Amino acid sequence: MPFAVPVAEQRFLLTHVAGIAELAAMPAFADATPDMIDAVLEGAAAFAEGEFAPLNRIGDTAGARWSADGVTMPAGYGVAYRDYVAGGWGTIDAPVDVGGQGLPFAVATAVLESLGTANLSFALCPTLTVGAIEAISAHGSADQQARYLPKLVTGEWTGTMNLTEPQAGSDVGALRTTAEPQPDGTYRIKGTKIYISYGEHDLAENIIHLVLARTPGAPAGTRGISLFVVPRYRVAADGTIGAANDVRCVSIEHKMGLHASPTCVMSFGDQDDCIGEIVGPEHGGMRAMFTMMNNARLNVGLQGVEVAERATQAAVDYATGRVQSARAGSPSRESVAIIEHPDVRRMLLRMKALTQAARALCYHAAGQVDRAHQGDAAARVRVDLMTPLVKAYGTDIGVEVASLGIQVHGGMGFVEETGAAQHYRDARIAPIYEGTNGIQAADLVGRKLTGDGGAGLAALLADIRGEGGGEPALIALVDAVARVADALRTGDGDDRLAGSYPFLTMLAVATAGWLLTRQMHVASGDDAFARMKRTTARFYLDRIVPEAAGLEASALAGAAGLYALTAEELAA
């Protein structure tokens, strides 16, 4: 089916949710003029539609291939990636002094959305590189920044995050990879990492791995972790590429989805000759890791938007062309396109409303990131609060909308040729990686809810009440969120965690409902776009917001019922 980037929606969100005009008034973002933003959005859309999108199905069916010589990407990916680099699409929000354009992160979010909606597997590569750029920018030495950032920013080199090991998944502190100091100040790295997206590929001339490891005598657990930059090919002082480092991809995973994204098992130091450089202070790895992870979590939430948008477009296209049965209650007995049937309309409107809700969360968070980078302390608090909401709710929406897309297609949704199944297969990993959604919920109630005495949440709820006062269902949900928050703050650990997931969903829906209310009021015209915005917002406020209010009982139910059975009884 034809695919089109929703440029009008992106421009609308940048204006009314991210607040691009306010950002452009800041000296750091003076180049973010309306003409510049339009050129970036339209150029990225044309590139995504013309080069990334045609490779989506090819990547799914052919996949990345591993051999002893390395990982080979599907046909066409190499050319498209070189065009991505040549077009400067990775440089949008990077600092000018390392080759970036210095535009707001919110604009880069829109560009990444276009690429990921066109081809989710492919866009993972630049998504991960962004995390490496953030970590080196925030924690690397001046020398490391000079040697690595210019090529990472352009995309000539790509970056990875190497956290997970066979025995250390969510429990990062259990990792065993070692880093032995050398007389010249470097370290010999030795260990194995798993689930490393784009750990090996043939798209770029170098891959810069950021690796968590332990130095000799390091404290146990997360306190003893350090971060190291470990290039696939060693980089000389002048930034030129030297000899191969002792880094190998020993296999790639055979996955449910994201087939064109090589998920690698990486071996460091098989020949005891893997050289790395420490990033930041010794034992400062967790702080640096969260710099990478927090950025990645926002971008993974955006992946939920990307797959939901693609699935929605496919479902609307199919429903418009598929003729089946007369419409119930119609005097005519002629068969109509299934888009005319009430239940299909319900599903399509739910898909559109959920997708736009998740996008609103992402763009609001992106605008707050830009303000935080300019020293706005309140924006930093808002970003910290929004991150688990964006990641968890955004990816839950991606899965739900992709599943609804299969349902709209009916039996053909279960057949691979329509592509509807790929959306679901690709979406299903997003609630798992970069910190499971359960971990996001635990972080929300364990740190974000109490770390500042509840001030960040209070400010968010005040914003929602201020703009959403005319929506009784939304205010009822905010009241429920406040009651649950008070209970979880004072509850014991198990009870708080037992209620954390429904609480996260309630807060995410309330926040999205607020942002959709704003859009509904602004979209006052009589054109098709304005009518669509008002209708989808109304659907969300009337149907999805009340659903979330119903989660209050679950959030307050406590943990006792979860432990009513022993582990053995659960297996019975």
Tokens found for residue 191: 């260990």
Count of H-run helices and E-run strands, the chain: 20, 12
3-state SS class at 266: strand
Read off the DSSP letter of residue 224. Answer: G
295 compared with 102, residue with greater pLDDT? 102
Contacts of 104 (CB under 8 A, 6+ apart): 18, 20, 23, 24, 29, 32, 93, 366, 367, 370
Q: What's the rounded Cα separation, in Å, for the pair 500 and 494?
A: 10
> Please, which pLDDT band fits residue 57 given cuts at 50, 70 and 90?
very high
pLDDT over 80 (residue 332): no
Let me know: does 497 contact 559? Beta carbons within 8 Å. Answer: yes
Structure confidence at residue 4 (pLDDT)? 97
For the chain, give the percent of residues with pLDDT over 70.
100
Token readout for 271 is: 């020949």
Q: CA-based Rg of the chain, rounded to a whole angstrom?
A: 24
* Average pLDDT, integer, range 469-479: 96
Q: Is 180 helix (H, G, I), strand (E, B) or coil?
A: strand
Six-digit token string for 317: 């296209």
pLDDT digit string (tens) for 97-117?
999 999 999 999 999 999 999
What's the mean per-residue pLDDT of the chain?
95
Structural contact between residues 127 and 116, judged by C-beta atoms closer than 8 angstroms:
yes
The whole-number average pLDDT for the span 556-562 is 96
Residue 167 has pLDDT above 90, yes or no: no
Phi and psi angles of residue 152, each rounded to the nearest 5 degrees, phi first: -70, -40
Q: Is the pTM of this model over 0.75?
A: yes
Give backbone dihedrals phi and psi of 433, rounded to 5 degrees, phi first: -85, 170
Spacing of C-alpha 118 from chain mean position: 15
Pick from 122-131, 198-207, 448-457: least confident: 448-457
**Structure token digits, residue 331:** 């005097």
> What's the pLDDT at 1?
62
Residues taking part in catalysis: 434
Q: Is the pLDDT of residue 293 over 90?
A: no
pLDDT digits (tens, 9 = 90+) for 487-546: 999 888 899 999 999 999 999 999 999 999 999 999 999 999 999 999 999 999 999 999
For the chain, first and last CA: distance in Å?
Answer: 47
d(CA 449, CA 456): 8
Query: What does the pLDDT read at residue 452?
Result: 85
Going by pLDDT thresholds of 50, 70 and 90, the confidence category of residue 330 is confident
Q: How far apart are CA 114 and CA 427, in angstroms?
A: 16
Gap between the Cα atoms of 551 and 227, Å rounded? 40
Beta bridge partners of 229: 210, 277
| pLDDT tens-digit series, residues 391-417 | 999 999 999 999 999 999 999 999 999
Residue 28 has pLDDT above 90, yes or no: yes
Strand-pairing partners, residue 248, are 267
Q: What is the C-alpha to C-alpha distance for residues 86 and 109, in angstroms, rounded to an integer?
A: 19
pLDDT score for 288? 87
Instruction: List C-alpha distances in Å: 540 to 236, 247, 353, 551, 555.
Output: 55, 49, 6, 16, 21
According to DSSP H, which parts of 325-471 are helical? 342-373, 377-409, 420-427, 437-443, 455-468
Residue 79 has pLDDT above 90, yes or no: yes
Exposure letters 485-521 (e unless 16+ CB within 10 A, then b): bebbeebeeebbbbbbbbbbbbbbbbbbbbbbbbbbe
Q: pLDDT class for 292, splitting at 50, 70, 90? A: confident
